[in-house]
Chains A and B, each alone.
Chain A
Amino acid sequence: MTNQEKGQSKRHLTLQQKQNLTGWIFLLPASLLIIWMSFYPMVRAFVVSLMRGKPTALEFSDPLWRNYQRMTMDTVFIQSLKNTFTYLIIQVPIMLVLALIFASLLNRKDIRFKGIFRTCIFLPCATALVSYSIIFRTLFAYDGFVNAILLNLRLISEPINWMNDPTGAKTVIIIALIWRWTGYNMVFYLSAMQSIDYSIYEAARIDGAGPLTQLTKITMPLLKPVILVTAIMSTNGTLQLYDESVNLTNGGPANASITMSHYIYNTTFVTSPNFGYAAEMSFVILMFVAILSAIQMKVGDKR
């Protein structure tokens, strides 16, 4: 409570105070849980990022930021950083636009069997990683289905060895990510579209606005808060990408598709453990996500 607020009239003050207090109580359980389950381990991880040595005998490094210096000389980390940002820049915009298109199509009153289409398009994110990674590897195999189609359409003259080509492997991961998460994002758009009055669209149509105009001029501005949520979530998810790198390409060929989280996991649990360095790299991811989210919020969150 600031002094200024205290100076206001008494009756008003108590009501304000009461509501304000209710607000804090409302968000207390969630906040405490997050502090306990995320911030506390995070603070410990940060301390570890300043340390070096065997996992059970860590000591502060000299200089303290030694791990941060070390990172700039690590070619594998730099490669993983480039890969992760490539995924981010290409995948997230395509996926979100696609999700918006699906959502607006499936929100139309004149389309039938919407329930079935919705379920189908949502299903990829319910599909277990095991089955979808096997099938993606099969589809993109050298003699696989995708190459057969591309050859038949005469788009390529000889089969592409997707998984064994630096660009090919990244492409497969991007396609897999779009395939898996578009329906997921669509769900949020659909639920948010419920609060848009459908008559706005009808009025727009009478005014001669095409589907594209309706999407960019009506839907997107009104869905801005939700689009922001999904954009931040997707950015966050992509920067922490682990599953696809491990299961689809195993980071290969020659680290051409490895992600930062995959490399951190290896540094902690697969190769000879270096906890301090792994924690340090995690903090670099944290900083990237924080900066990007801040930018997105600045751009999207104008009350």
Chain B
Amino acid sequence: MSKGAFRKYGSKALIYLFLIVMSFISVFPLYWCFVSAFNTTPEILGGKLVPGGHLMENITNLLDQQKVFTALKNSFINTILVVLLSLTVCSVAGYGFEVYHDKGKDTVMKILMLSMMVPFVAIMVPMFQMFSAMGMLNKYIGFVLPSISTPFLIMLFRSNARSFPKEIIEAARIDGLNEVQIFVRMFIPTMRPTYAAAATVTFMNSWNSYLWPRIIFKTNESITMPMLISNLMSGYVLDYGLIMAAVTICTLPTVIIFFFLQKSFTEAIAGSVK
């Protein structure tokens, strides 16, 4: 083997080693959680790292104790509503800020960005007062409304829209497309990786959101998955096997969503851009 080849393969082997080690470190807590769903509390606290035979027992106890299906249904409805609405509203805004940008809109953008700098604990009380006055407690809309428009997604779409060539827009205008058509037919297909990334993080954030739902959902019927887990953690006696079964159930959808959407990150971008 030549020296050059060794360097080439050697450095590649190092990259793989690095990636494998990092992947292992990243996955380990999730693996532990998954395995613990098969074990009993003393086994878990004793550090058992292989699955045991208590999965069915944990799951049966969980289903007996908690309204898992109600929680899953609510979490799905809440999350899907947020993803659909926020991707629409924020991508339109991000596109608007970038493509039609002028001094006025840049200033508005800067002002909007201020909004994500307020710690949630600071506005929790006024927010609750608003929602209770509007009669939005225990309703999906109460969960969805504050999460639709986030400066983060607007910023993300805006900065990625920068790579969307202005010439395409000009050409489309000459072809007689109106502004909405340009957005729908040109921008959306080109920005698929961005939409996929935005959908992934929005899904994850609203699926795992727990401070806000705990404030506005106050009936047994409106419980979400993170609330259910928080409920399991509130007792004098903690059944870790059961908790880990619930956590595993709660984590799976995010993992699946990411696994499928990540393909879009790596897909080549439709021809017109290059």
A and B touch in the complex (CB under 8 A): yes
Is B115's CB within 8 Å of the partner chain A? yes
Closest Cβ of chain A to B137, distance in Å, is 16
Let me know if B126 and A41 touch, CB within 8 A. Answer: yes
Is B219's CB within 8 Å of the partner chain A? no
Question: A278–B122 Cα gap in the complex (Å)?
Answer: 7
Is B100's CB within 8 Å of the partner chain A? yes
Question: Which DSSP category, helix, strand, loop or mixed, fits chain B's interface?
Answer: helix
Let me know if A127 and B29 touch, CB within 8 A. Answer: yes
Chain A residues within 8 Å of B208, by CB: 126, 128-129
Is B26's CB within 8 Å of the partner chain A? yes
Closest Cβ of chain B to A121, distance in Å, is 5
Let me know if B26 and A179 touch, CB within 8 A. Answer: yes
Let me know if B33 and A119 touch, CB within 8 A. Answer: no
Let me know if A30 and B90 touch, CB within 8 A. Answer: yes
Q: Which of A120, A283, A293 has the most CB of B within 10 A?
A: A120
Closest Cβ of chain B to A247, distance in Å, is 10
Nearest chain B residue, comparing its CB with the CB of A282: B122
Is A131's CB within 8 Å of the partner chain B? yes
Chain A residues within 8 Å of B125, by CB: 45, 268, 275
Nearest chain A residue, comparing its CB with the CB of B162: A225
In the complex, number of A-B residue pairs with CB atoms less than 8 Å apart: 257
Q: Given A188-B197, A265-B121 in contact, is the A26-B33 Cβ separation under 8 Å?
A: no
Is B141's CB within 8 Å of the partner chain A? no
Let me know if B100 and A119 touch, CB within 8 A. Answer: no
Chain A residues within CB distance 8 Å of chain B:
19-20, 22-27, 29-31, 33-34, 37-42, 44-45, 102, 105-106, 110-111, 114-132, 134-136, 138, 179, 183-184, 187-188, 190-192, 194-195, 197, 225-226, 228-229, 232-233, 236, 240, 242, 260-261, 264-265, 268, 275, 278-279, 282-283, 285-286, 289-290, 293, 297
Question: A269–B25 Cα gap in the complex (Å)?
Answer: 36
Q: Given A282-B122, A290-B117, A293-B113 in contact, is the A135-B262 Cβ separation under 8 Å?
A: no
Q: Given A27-B96, A187-B200 in contact, is the A45-B151 Cβ separation under 8 Å?
A: no
Chain B residues within 8 Å of A187, by CB: 197, 200-201, 262, 265
Let me know if B33 and A131 touch, CB within 8 A. Answer: yes
Q: Given A128-B247, A131-B32, A135-B32 in contact, is the A195-B26 Cβ separation under 8 Å?
A: no
